[in-house]
Amino acid sequence: MSINEEALGEIIIEGVSRIFSKQDGTSIAALDDINLDIKPGEFISLVGASGCGKSTLLRMITGLDAPTYGKINMDGEEIDKPHYLRGLVFQDPTLFPWLTVKENISVGLKARKVLKDKDDEVESFIKLIGLDGFQKSYPHQLSGGMAQRVSLARALVNEPKVLLLDEPLGALDAFTRMNMQDEILNIWEKKKTTMILVTHDVDEAIYLSDRIVIMTPRPGRIQKIINVEMGRPRNRNHPDFIRIRSNILETLHFAKETTLSYYL
């Protein structure tokens, strides 16, 4: 795939299914006939029960995996391999322990041999994520939230048109998680990057997203798409927020499960 550097970050998913073969000769369908258009600069969340194929879909958008059937396009070009214009952030920050904050953020630029011309941008991203003064710190000297900020900056410094977030806040405590949600929104509003988030946290999806894609249990299909027609910043206790939460939980058949009011 040859990506235009002036790409806008539009993702079009057409009839995508993913079938995995097992060692015993049988197969398992992870995704079935997924169709979704994601506009440039849009913030989309994927929610659904574990095993519904959310992360599999994210990996295919990244180019780390390929559909069994169907295709995924970015700005009119079919995705067939990873590219730095599609960044990926995992739940685990996966920082290199022997590198400093600045060195970890610079890894992709160094691999592309453009670090010399991008050093000022590395510094600007360090400031953007609120870690100015921690350039020479090592991962073991950082809190979980700080490490995840470095992971975000490492993906963003390549100026991706699409940022894929695979439960990046799942390992954080509730207070740090909410602060990180605001950090992600701040970056999204400044950079206008298309963002696709996999999350098990219903409130997180509502707080961050323009649209929420609800997926069925395996094989994963799109059950419903909910438009979040609320301004930002969003009040989690606002009647509209609560209404959307109830709608999502009812769709997922958890409406009466009070212990699952926030997490799937």
Q: List the one residue out of 166, 164, 133, 127 whose CA is nearest residue 149.
A: 127
Q: Could you tell me where in the chain the CATH 3.40.50.300 domains are found?
A: 11-85+160-170+177-260
pTM: 0.89
Summarised one tens digit per residue, pLDDT across range 149-176 is 899 889 988 889 999 999 988 878 888 8
Q: What is the pLDDT of residue 168?
A: 87
Are 175 and 202 in contact by the 8 Å Cβ rule? The answer is no
**Cα-flanking dihedrals φ and ψ of residue 75, to 5°?**
50, 45
The domain covering 11-85+160-170+177-260 belongs, at the CATH homologous superfamily level, to P-loop containing nucleotide triphosphate hydrolases (3.40.50.300)
Residue 63 corresponds to which tokens in the numbers above? 């180019």
Summarised one tens digit per residue, pLDDT across range 182-208 is 989 988 998 889 999 999 999 999 999
